[in-house]
Amino acid sequence: MKLIPSFTIDHIRLLRGIYVSRKDHVGEEVITTFDIRMKEPNREPALHPGAIHTIEHLAATYLRNHLQWSDRIVYWGPMGCLTGNYLLMRGDLTPTDILPLMQETFRFIAEYQDKVPGASPQDCGNYLLHDLPMARLESRRYLEEVLMKVKDENLNYPESAC
């Protein structure tokens, strides 16, 4: 079976950052999938499930309500490996295009102190699995250490060692 493109990325050398995972054409539209990588795979602990779940709720809510970008947001959700999130957006976009948006989003999460939206039994399939303090800590760390000091290697996948 042929490997999907995301399984061909050299995860041993992958850094935290914002990467274009893929671009798909749907009719006349381009859908850009971003890899919002918050942890270095296999080199640092993955995000706690409660933290990434809370990040999902807060980021999805923030992005879908954003005045400038809301009409381009298709999906925000966690990676199964718990090292980051996928963001799908309408448009042929680059990491540089969305860097200010990601800075805003993670600043919003890092500073958020209210009830987590959608974290009730009627709104969420696992409403008890939330950790706002850890979501804030991980978001602040990603914002300060990566998004505010972004370098080329945080915006482009490493060349494959193969």
Domain coverage including residue 13:
5-150
Q: What is the pTM of this model?
A: 0.94
In a domain, 107, yes or no: yes
- Asked if residue 157 is part of any domain, the answer here is no
- As for how many domains the chain has, the answer is 1
Please tell me the predicted confidence (pLDDT) of residue 9. Answer: 80
Query: Residue 159's pLDDT band (boundaries 50, 70, 90)?
Result: confident
CA–CA distance, 123 with 57 (Å, rounded to integer): 11
Task: Let me know if residue 161 belongs to a domain.
Answer: no
Q: The domain that contains 142 carries what CATH number?
A: 3.30.1360.80
Cα(127)–Cα(148) distance, rounded to whole angstroms? 32
Please indicate, yes or no, if residue 37 is contained in any of the structural domains.
Answer: yes
Encode pLDDT of 78-126 as tens digits: 999 999 999 999 999 999 999 999 999 999 999 999 999 999 999 999 9
Lowest mean pLDDT among 2-11, 31-40, 104-113: 2-11
Establish if 42 belongs to a structural domain.
yes
Task: Answer yes or no: is 160 within a domain.
Answer: no
